[in-house]
Amino acid sequence: MPVRRTFLAAIAALVSGNSAAACGSFEEPCEVALGTYVVATPETPGPHPAVLFLHGYAAGGYVALSIGEPILARGYAVIGPRGLDDENGLASWNLPPRDPEGRDEAAFLRQVIEDAENFHGVDPAQVILAGHSFGGALTSYLACEDPDFARAYAPLAGSFRRPHPPLDACAGPVSLLHTHGWADERVPIEGRSVRDGAFVQGDVFYAMQIWREVNRCTGLKPDSIEVEDIYLRRSWKTCAGGPIEIALHSGGHEIPAGWADMVLDWYEALP
């Protein structure tokens, strides 16, 4: 791992009891073996719970910092890993069907969490994995493949691709809150064909059926349906595994107002 801190900076971190790493900004991201990330931490001493936020296609880790103010205000760190450049030079993630020569995204994100624990006071047992668009899709796949990767999952405007994972393919139950815009045309709730059929986005409602099966929820009907601010929230809480929820709003493909606080309220209410 590259040397990124001077001896004096390391001493300052020990004396203050808080992370004083020299990296983490947009201008100077932190480096791990498989990539880079940006990070911001609260002023209070750690260890901090954290939101690990995966950006959408062609964006970057700075997106996490742009939505970080309400997260930091509640005592959480915010971490923004960066996808690798694709053939068009745009930051992307290695999604199914995965390029076997591409990056192992799960391994990369584990390196990010470990580095953030060592140098930024992040509690690895209290990580919410979230993501927007392509990042939301990767969030969904990691939740399916490795339920213990994070404490909870919050995909936003992104889910599985077609063919959807079989109902029995996911490794175990998760706590998951999916958020989606009713008017999203880039990633419609029903999905669409992209790049002349290079891949086909999945159906978000079918993804929720998958999660109900994985979490062994009783019945198709939500346990609660609530309107809160701009969100219509449908929750399944009577599940052998963790609770799952979908929050719909009338907007499009953006990160909607109040999303971060909604996710943290939901997370803090988990059993």
User: 7-268 has which CATH code?
Assistant: 3.40.50.1820
Residues 6+ apart with CB under 8 A from 236: 212, 215, 217, 222, 223, 243, 244, 245
Q: What was the pLDDT predicted at 9?
A: 34
> What value, to the nearest 5°, has the Cα angle with vertex 134 and ends 92 and 110?
70
Domain segments of the chain: what residues?
A: 7-268
Q: How far is CA 85 from CA 21, 63, 90, 91, 247, in A?
A: 26, 16, 5, 4, 31
Q: What is the mean pLDDT of the chain?
A: 92
Q: How far apart are the first and last CA of the chain?
A: 37
Average the pLDDT over 62-80 and give the result: 97
- What ranges make up the beta strands (E) of the chain? 30-32, 35-40, 48-54, 77-81, 84-85, 91-92, 122-132, 152-156, 161-162, 176-181, 193-194, 199-201, 224-228, 231-236, 244-249
pTM of the prediction?
Answer: 0.91
**Category of 173 on φ-ψ map: left (φ > 0), alpha (ψ -120 to 50) or beta:** beta
State the pLDDT confidence band at 227, using cuts at 50, 70 and 90. very high
pLDDT of residue 1 exceeding 60: no
- For 247, residues 6+ apart whose C-beta sits below 8 A from its C-beta are 177, 178, 179, 180, 231, 232, 233, 234, 262
pLDDT tens figures, 11-54: 233 323 333 468 999 999 999 999 999 999 999 998 999 999 99
- pLDDT at residue 3 above 60? no
Q: So what's the pLDDT on residue 13?
A: 35
Q: Of 216 and 10, which is predicted with more confidence?
A: 216
- pLDDT of 21: 64
CB-facing half-sphere around the CA of 34: CA atoms within 13 A = 18
